[in-house]
Structure 1
Amino acid sequence: MHLGGSVLRLESNLVESPDLSDSALSDATGNEPAEAPTQGRPDVAVCMLDRDGFVVSWSKGGQRFTEQDPDGIVGQPFSALFAERDRQAGLPGTILQKARESHFEGEVLQQRPEGEGFRVRLTVESTRSAGGDVLGFVVVSQDLTAGAAIQESLRQNEEQFRRLVQSVTDYAIYMLDPEGYVSNWNSGAQRIKGYAPEEIVGEHFSRFYTDEDRKNRLPWQGLATAAEAGRFEKEGWRVRKDGSRFWAHVVIDPIRDDDGNLLGFAKVTRDITERMEAQRALEKAREAFFQSQKMEALGQLTGGVAHDFNNLLAAVLGSLELLKKHMPEEPRATRLVNNAIQAAERGATLTQRMLAFARRQELSLEAVEIDALVKGMIELLERSLGPSVTIRANLPSGPLFGKADANQLELAILNLGVNARDAMPDGGLIDIDVREEEGAGVPDALKPGRYICISVADTGEGMDEATLARATEPFFTTKGIGKGTGLGLSMVHGMVEQSGGRLILRSDKGRGTTAELWIPRWSEGAPGQGQVDRALAVEVATKPCTVLAVDDDGLVLLNTTAMLENLGHTVLPASSGRQALNILNERGNVDLVITDHAMPRMTGSELASEIRARSPELPIILTTGYAELPKGANLRLPKLMKPFSEAALARAIADVMNERPAAAAPN
């Protein structure tokens, strides 16, 4: 059997290989032919017709897309493949006639067994004998609906992908050509960077970088890294259309064809400014928490040391005072004793500052007219700081009442002034400013409310970050040996925080320091008429008393007993709370109890509670270093700060005995 050139022509139109040999076709005897190259394609059907137009063979491709199996179609006329209307119109016969004359090629509507029509590209060629007689026909059908469906599916996929990319607004997703020029632009890129597609497509992506980054060639380095390493990822500042900056997370991936040639880059940018700011805020809060923990630990240690030191100083000062009173008049010995007393008093001042830092110093919080207090301090500062320092004050016209301890606040301002002077060895300017703030003007570290800010700013040397971070730690100082204890700022810090406020320091090396004391505004009703003069002497009781003195420290107890006896009182010493209760049970004529607080097994507060349950009117004085009093532990008891002098002891006794009801007064 011979196939003419027309058969080769139809095959070359449909498949890559033009070879369709005789053995691949039926010899019109009805035998199943071998698979032709086209028969492996699911969208191509190949069948053989005899000279009368009946199907003698059917390919697997035809079985797939026409849903006609060989048993159902072999032996059927060619017209069985066509839709009813085309059969009625005689289209199958017309096609075969054209194939006898030459060949047929065109699009027709064929029909599946269920009656569903589908379009095919049909090619029909005749097979002839050596003498030119028609032996049959080769029919090749290509399903056009499958190809159209594939193309439509591809189009839909592309459209879906485009919509997906355009719907992403949290990320800037766009393409770059190999040189870095923008080739497309999604809505996220427009939202984040501010450019419309027509403004940016065709522009180089380096315009999104800062001037510094462009100068350092960072955009081009990013492309080079992506091309060489297969990916570039980094965070950094980027610039929007309006010139504002945002912190961006950037990923650049290269796009290559199947041969590895670079086609361009896919670039994804995300604005993570909020996340960065939140992370910075978290780190700042963590640092503040660690600083708070450190200061709390230092406060506990400092308070405990101060309490024990106060006990020692109480014994030293009391003994020195008694020794001075009873020793003979001898100038040299008197000078030495006075020197020892002054040294011990300096030690007591140090412990006061330590306790202030630990926020365990007893404060007398009341309504203080801050503007008047600062105004009164300026003259003292001018005399104390010397002529090389100029003080400039900015005070409000009306009164501002704050909640503070007036004495401690004056001492804090004096400390700040001395620190400012020491930071300006060649002289300079100190600005003191008083203002009221609330709402947004109040630092975040403070609770919401109204505050009075006392600002002391100098033009001195300033502090670097490391020094500033440790400025309020106890015993930390940048001054020379013997020029500072390192307790000035720590005392101010503790006092202000115990008052419900905050000390805030701002400083830059070479630009001076600003210290701000934030004091709560007085909000507990109208302030009292005038301030109490704490230097006013108290009339000392002249009548002798029987005093129960309690302290677990033998040195302090011996010293307290000696001072009380020197004042003319009868003393019953006890070294524990239990022993004190036993004495009270045995002796019923005790007029006053003076007890230490920090004692083992039974504290002074617990002892006071036991005594009050038995004798509610019995006066009690609590001696303490104020380092160990828990909250709510008999805070209404009169307290005497250690170390105390004989005069301070006498005044404390006078206070409680003068307030005692007349019926309970000693005989």
Structure 2
Amino acid sequence: MERTERFEASKSSEGRFRLLIEAITDYAIYMLDPDGTITSWNAGAKRFKGYDESEILGENFARFYTLKDREAGLPQRALDAARRDGRFESEGWRVRKDGSRFWALAIVDPIRDSSGRLIGFAKITRDLTERRKAENTLRESQEQFRLLVQGVTDYAIYMLSAKGYVSSWNLGAERIKGYAPEEIIGQHFSRFYTDEDQKAGLPQTALETATRAGRFEKEGWRVRKDGTQFFAHVIIDAIYNADGSLLGFAKITRDITERTNAARALEEAREALLQSQKMEAIGHLTGGIAHDFNNLLMAIQGSLELLQRRLPEDDPKVARLIDNALQGARRGAALTQRMLAFARRQELKLEPIDVGQVVQQMTNLLQSSLGPSVRIETNFPRGLPQAFADANQLELALLNLAINGRDAMPNGGTITIAAATQADAPGLKEGHYLCVSVTDTGTGMDEETLHRAMEPFFTTKGVGKGTGLGLPMVHGMAEQSGGTLFLKSKPGHGTSAELYLPVAPQETISEALDATAHTLHTDKKLSILTVDDDPLVALNTSALLEELGHTVFSAPSALHALDILRREKKIDLMITDQLMPNMTGSELASRIRAENEQMPIILATGYAELAPGEGQGLPRLAKPFSQRELAEAIARAIGP
């Protein structure tokens, strides 16, 4: 009875197991006899392979293999391996009833009876087509990404291990940094940093920041294989495993040297433009202030001269005071000339000058200004032509250049002042020039300092030791004279300032000799019209003229001057200021010359820059002027 119950229970259990197997649809589960003939077939097998049970039972399982696999004997090898090893497992292509293929995972297990005799095989097949497709898609994506990264040449893209060793290397990295993959993979990425950054621990700081924050980004100098440096934009991203452990770092580097240089050049150009605009505004302001200051000096100097001549000779104390005041006025005039030199608006008195003689006359001034630690040497060959320049401005320029040389020699040295003829000068029109050089044996300048040396307000002398206006003033004077200023310097080899001045034309030399031989004066008593909107200057000019014996008519504006000329028919000469409201002196002169071409006119101004065409052909009298200079200007204007 008990045995019968166990049999029935076993039979019932087998039935339930069979029902379970037949109900599975995600796996093909079927039996084979020892020769590979199919003896059972479940629903999963039908779904995968497309055969009904009646179609496939009794057929050999080899029909599920591709022709290539059958020819290679793969079905039989699978059975042999399962018989020998107790199990066979593989993946490969299988064929459905309709001829289509799918990727399958196949497991073959041998089945033996209680005596160990092989009675067949259990075969389980799973359709992995979708998984394989996903894996292939992922693999293709990864390969495409690898090819993409490898093909990028504008960016260095590479991987680092958790400790910072290079583990991959793209073409961009090779192009930017110069290393081939076999040279750099396995090396630490810190070799791309400068020595200073390595000593400061920047590579390790970058990795620590990326680990802590997930990302590190910075710009800085990096080093190529050949030792040259480039400015780089760097990003380091931390990469983690699925379990959260640090796998390594992805590093992207871009060479932004050109962009940085372009940005710097743009900024420098912008600063230069702003500086140019600022200097133009300062120049206009300086010129205007100097004009007004000249008028004040004109009134002071002229009045002091008149007072000096009218004082009794027996009062030396008052005479000394007046003489002292006159010297102060003349120093003020020199200061005004420097301001106008800076603004490039000074009234230069261009004449033939012997540069060697000028230097000789100012040797004592130079030596006392430079101090005992500086030795002065000169080199002026015989037969040098005369330069066409303003003697006073040349003295100021040479003194300025010599003082710059002294400041560049803190321990003393030698300053050499020399001159030589030059057929042509770079950047100047064709002609003959005299190159006057001031050379020191000082510290010299690097390229950046040399490039900026003539910028207004640029100085390397420190706070309170220089204004940065000396060289711009010299350069301004040189350009107004028709020449230029060049600087040559190297660190440790001193500096040479080369002042190019035009050689004086022969006719101007002859005129200068004549003027020296014959002091200009006239005994004629004239009716002179003075035009000036500043009452102090007008009064002073009238007093100087009256003391010379002339009859003076004074007008506060150009319109008043025209009224006087219409009323007084016997005006012999007009002396007019240039800068006046409503109508300038040159405009007034044009109105008068339109009616009377023979009228002698002198343009009195301390402001040299005139609009194109203004004041052409008019003799000029620079303010502030003395009575002697006034008399000479009148004599030149009316002729013999």
Q: TM-score range by the shorter chain?
A: 0.7 to 0.9
Rounded to whole Å, the distance in 2 between the matches of 1:495 and 1:584 is 38
Which amino acid in 2 is paired with 1:611?
I
Query: Offset at 1:196?
Result: 1.5
For 2:478, the equivalent position in structure 1 comes to: 496
Q: Does 1:650 align with 2:636?
A: no
Which amino acid in 1 is paired with 2:414?
L
Look up the SS of the partner of 1:412 in the other structure: helix
Q: Does 1:267 align with 2:251?
A: yes
Rounded to whole Å, the distance in 2 between the matches of 1:236 and 1:599 is 59
Look up the SS of the partner of 1:560 in the other structure: helix
Query: Offset at 1:257?
Result: 0.5
Q: Does 1:584 align with 2:565?
A: yes
Which amino acid in 1 is paired with 2:476?
G
Look up the SS of the partner of 1:633 in the other structure: coil
For 1:30, the equivalent position in structure 2 comes to: none
Output aligned runs, 1:524-603, within 5 Å.
528=506, 531=509, 533=512, 536=516, 538-603=519-584
Relative to structure 1, is the Cα distance of residues 76 and 405 closer, same or farther in structure 2, using a 3 angstrom cutoff?
farther
Rounded to whole Å, the distance in 2 between the matches of 1:249 and 1:168 is 16
Which amino acid in 1 is paired with 2:158?
Y
Output aligned runs, 1:309-348, within 5 Å.
309-332=293-316, 333-348=318-333
Rounded to whole Å, the distance in 2 between the matches of 1:438 and 1:177 is 68
Query: Offset at 1:109?
Result: 4.6
Query: Offset at 1:261?
Result: 1.0
Look up the SS of the partner of 1:612 in the other structure: helix
Rounded to whole Å, the distance in 1 between the matches of 2:302 and 2:9 is 137
For 1:351, the equivalent position in structure 2 comes to: 336
Rounded to whole Å, the distance in 2 between the matches of 1:243 and 1:605 is 66
Q: Does 1:637 align with 2:618?
A: yes
For 2:345, the equivalent position in structure 1 comes to: 360
Contact in 1 for aligned 2:409/2:442 (Cα 8 Å): yes
For 2:497, the equivalent position in structure 1 comes to: 516
Rounded to whole Å, the distance in 1 between the matches of 2:254 and 2:560 is 75
Contact in 1 for aligned 2:65/2:93 (Cα 8 Å): no
Rounded to whole Å, the distance in 1 between the matches of 2:403 and 2:323 is 27
Rounded to whole Å, the distance in 1 between the matches of 2:47 and 2:595 is 112
Which amino acid in 1 is paired with 2:167?
S
Rounded to whole Å, the distance in 2 between the matches of 1:645 and 1:144 is 113
Contact in 2 for aligned 1:303/1:627 (Cα 8 Å): no
Which amino acid in 2 is paired with 1:349?
A
* Offset from partner CA, 1:415-445 (integer Å, 9 cap, x none): 3225545787985322446799999x98xxx
Rounded to whole Å, the distance in 1 between the matches of 2:524 and 2:558 is 27
Output aligned runs, 1:139-288, within 5 Å.
142-143=126-127, 146=130, 149-288=133-272
Rounded to whole Å, the distance in 1 between the matches of 2:439 and 2:560 is 53
* Offset from partner CA, 1:327-358 (integer Å, 9 cap, x none): 33233233332222222112111111111111
Q: Does 1:623 align with 2:604?
A: yes
Look up the SS of the partner of 1:622 in the other structure: strand
For 1:409, the equivalent position in structure 2 comes to: 394
Rounded to whole Å, the distance in 1 between the matches of 2:204 and 2:149 is 25
Output aligned runs, 1:395-434, within 5 Å.
405=390, 408-418=393-403, 420-421=405-406, 428-432=413-417
Relative to structure 1, is the Cα distance of residues 237 and 490 closer, same or farther in structure 2, using a 3 angstrom cutoff?
closer
Contact in 1 for aligned 2:401/2:438 (Cα 8 Å): no
Relative to structure 1, is the Cα distance of residues 561 and 279 closer, same or farther in structure 2, using a 3 angstrom cutoff?
same
Contact in 1 for aligned 2:488/2:495 (Cα 8 Å): yes
Relative to structure 1, is the Cα distance of residues 328 and 186 closer, same or farther in structure 2, using a 3 angstrom cutoff?
same
The TM-score, its normalising length taken from structure 1, stands at: 0.71
Look up the SS of the partner of 1:516 in the other structure: strand
Query: Offset at 1:595?
Result: 0.8
Rounded to whole Å, the distance in 2 between the matches of 1:61 and 1:362 is 109
Contact in 1 for aligned 2:156/2:173 (Cα 8 Å): yes
For 2:114, the equivalent position in structure 1 comes to: none
Relative to structure 1, is the Cα distance of residues 269 and 461 closer, same or farther in structure 2, using a 3 angstrom cutoff?
closer
Rounded to whole Å, the distance in 1 between the matches of 2:374 and 2:598 is 56
Contact in 1 for aligned 2:46/2:53 (Cα 8 Å): no
For 1:17, the equivalent position in structure 2 comes to: none
Query: Offset at 1:315?
Result: 1.3
Rounded to whole Å, the distance in 2 between the matches of 1:183 and 1:305 is 71
Query: Offset at 1:150?
Result: 4.1
The 10-residue stretch of structure 1 (392-401 or 338-347) with the greater mean CA deviation from structure 2: 392-401
Rounded to whole Å, the distance in 2 between the matches of 1:53 and 1:321 is 141
Query: Offset at 1:643?
Result: 0.9
Look up the SS of the partner of 1:234 in the other structure: strand
Relative to structure 1, is the Cα distance of residues 59 and 556 closer, same or farther in structure 2, using a 3 angstrom cutoff?
farther
Rounded to whole Å, the distance in 2 between the matches of 1:402 and 1:625 is 23
Output aligned runs, 1:86-165, within 5 Å.
109-111=94-96, 116-118=100-102, 120=104, 142-143=126-127, 146=130, 149-165=133-149
Relative to structure 1, is the Cα distance of residues 514 and 631 closer, same or farther in structure 2, using a 3 angstrom cutoff?
farther
Rounded to whole Å, the distance in 2 between the matches of 1:448 and 1:262 is 71
Rounded to whole Å, the distance in 2 between the matches of 1:85 and 1:181 is 47
Relative to structure 1, is the Cα distance of residues 394 and 222 closer, same or farther in structure 2, using a 3 angstrom cutoff?
farther
Contact in 1 for aligned 2:103/2:132 (Cα 8 Å): no
In structure 2, which of residues 437, 440, 446 is the aligned counterpart of residue 457 of structure 1? 440
Relative to structure 1, is the Cα distance of residues 520 and 488 closer, same or farther in structure 2, using a 3 angstrom cutoff?
closer
Query: Offset at 1:204?
Result: 1.8
Rounded to whole Å, the distance in 2 between the matches of 1:111 and 1:484 is 97
Relative to structure 1, is the Cα distance of residues 455 and 165 closer, same or farther in structure 2, using a 3 angstrom cutoff?
farther
Rounded to whole Å, the distance in 2 between the matches of 1:304 and 1:240 is 57
Look up the SS of the partner of 2:197 in the other structure: helix
Rounded to whole Å, the distance in 2 between the matches of 1:391 and 1:3 is 128
Which amino acid in 2 is paired with 1:496?
A
Contact in 2 for aligned 1:402/1:519 (Cα 8 Å): no
In structure 2, which of residues 588, 601, 604 is the aligned counterpart of residue 607 of structure 1? 588
Rounded to whole Å, the distance in 2 between the matches of 1:437 and 1:185 is 60
Query: Offset at 1:363?
Result: 3.2
Relative to structure 1, is the Cα distance of residues 425 and 325 closer, same or farther in structure 2, using a 3 angstrom cutoff?
farther
* Offset from partner CA, 1:91-112 (integer Å, 9 cap, x none): xxx99xx9xx999998665358
The TM-score, its normalising length taken from structure 2, stands at: 0.74
For 1:132, the equivalent position in structure 2 comes to: none
RMSD (CA atoms) = 5.2
Relative to structure 1, is the Cα distance of residues 195 and 461 closer, same or farther in structure 2, using a 3 angstrom cutoff?
closer
Relative to structure 1, is the Cα distance of residues 207 and 141 closer, same or farther in structure 2, using a 3 angstrom cutoff?
same
Relative to structure 1, is the Cα distance of residues 147 and 461 closer, same or farther in structure 2, using a 3 angstrom cutoff?
closer
Query: Offset at 1:242?
Result: 2.0
Query: Offset at 1:188?
Result: 1.7
Rounded to whole Å, the distance in 2 between the matches of 1:625 and 1:651 is 17
Rounded to whole Å, the distance in 1 between the matches of 2:302 and 2:634 is 16
Look up the SS of the partner of 1:236 in the other structure: strand
Query: Offset at 1:125?
Result: 11
Relative to structure 1, is the Cα distance of residues 47 and 285 closer, same or farther in structure 2, using a 3 angstrom cutoff?
farther
Rounded to whole Å, the distance in 2 between the matches of 1:22 and 1:403 is 124
Relative to structure 1, is the Cα distance of residues 469 and 23 closer, same or farther in structure 2, using a 3 angstrom cutoff?
farther
Name structure 1 gaps, 5 residues minimum. Answer: 8-19, 27-32, 127-136, 660-667
Look up the SS of the partner of 2:574 in the other structure: strand
Look up the SS of the partner of 2:639 in the other structure: helix
